[in-house]
Structure 1
């Protein structure tokens, strides 16, 4: 296949995926389209990896064995665009560009298959359920790297705010850990006109919300980045009743597992103390969701070399500011060395932000991602 033919396949596939988005672990038609396209060009494909994921395998003699990963799930968002390839599934859309990620990796597989200037084994990993359900973790737990051994694994994400034809990457942290917590506050219900007869769960909850902000400002070192955010408060059903119980929910984000554990302990300590001060009780439930996404140095150097080969040194940002958003590619980087890079997508008109109902992947950048993957395979073979 020529590059022009591959670009047209990518564009067609990307728009087909955008029009028919599938959310976490529902990516059956998505996987089928990708698998059928790959098999039509003689590429080995293994389906049902991590439930709805798939892996395409290309081999070309002796050499390194690497994994290239693209996520492919959509979000439960109602699309606000009106173009011809807008989502036909109400309440679902590709608002994070995973349609573009899948199409670029598909194109890279076709390009590597047609251009045998590389050596080794390439595993193209099409991962389900990146958005909140941890499809990367499921793939790892179901034996991804035992079935498809990799010396290293690499990921790529489009990044609004960076100009098209540019990349950004960091040695070390790229994305934050993502944890969730729930605090159940138990007080004593009473008439709103007789607060002295009860223990006000809402007052306790309010004090906890404010006190939690001191974790970052006063309990962690100023050099340690972290975010503790309360996103929900639930309690009470009537105008004239002080509720016996209130529930707080929120998220924690940071860049190291020791800091995760420290924050976990501090949330429990602060909530318990605030509740006890008023005669109530607070019970914390803490869920470690996604670990931080940490790039390894040697593999980051290879990613930089590939990006430089693709777009030029002046369009590659080294040691960029990491994001407080999170990524389940982190589960793969927990067990394999590797690197995760951001690719710019802003054209003359800046892209909508990720997870925005007006977002659409910039098709002009598909060829950039395809060439980056190819150059990365070449860089890994020369390492």
Structure 2
């Protein structure tokens, strides 16, 4: 098996896919990026048997653009506005990496593709082509990043082992990096157990996630030893020591990583839960090295949960080339990379659980991204 990793910088990406949520670019956008990659490699690069089997996304940083662009008002038609004059179209910029699990059925094409990554000039040429073709939630994409401290630049690369991919990403970004994992099956089970609809259950789980992270922030500051070491040289921590520190937050017995601040007596309505403007990667990853709270005093750990658009329904028959769709909303989990690596090293979960695949269900007019392990 082969994994193609494309680290990239993005700008002007849409972070409001619908009226329900605002935050990171949706997994629908990521699926579109993986599909576009396959199209370019097949049609423009001559790798006709290249097939994207699964994909995943890792955020290194994300920042909302200053100001809030608004759609300009449109002229009314027969006295009625065709579109709200001030619809919010929030944008963001940052760095991320798309990882595609792929296959090349033709042996000669596979050899040619792998050989291309052995020559830096040819890699740069391919990056230039993809930079002009790929988009991320409508935003511009620039292939390659400089690494967390500017001294470990990342370019496109191919590996046969998912663990090796994680090691390279963690080397370039030792204290940053969040993998976005599908939680739709867990959401469905929780809704069934609670006897609620999925939207109400999603709100409950996100609320629980935020309360746990706030409890961690208030009661367990970072250990002085790890903070002091990273203040001197953030890159000196070994992988083993980081994994030891980070193993605990992903067990199902305690509060999670640090993130969104809440008041001591939170009073959040549904709009607050689904408006994830405070998706701050620095805060989410900053809690990786803190110690556990008393596990008996808290609910089971649910992780850093975020609502995301994962697909769309066709809501009526197409009219010519026009298709009318509505977003499919689900739950995703943001996981720090050392925790993902522990899944492999400790056999906690298969690598397929870290990836997504695109699914079309014609009987339901449904297009969606789902866990690659859900076959």
TM-score of the pair, normalised by structure 2: 0.29
TM-score of the pair, normalised by structure 1: 0.29
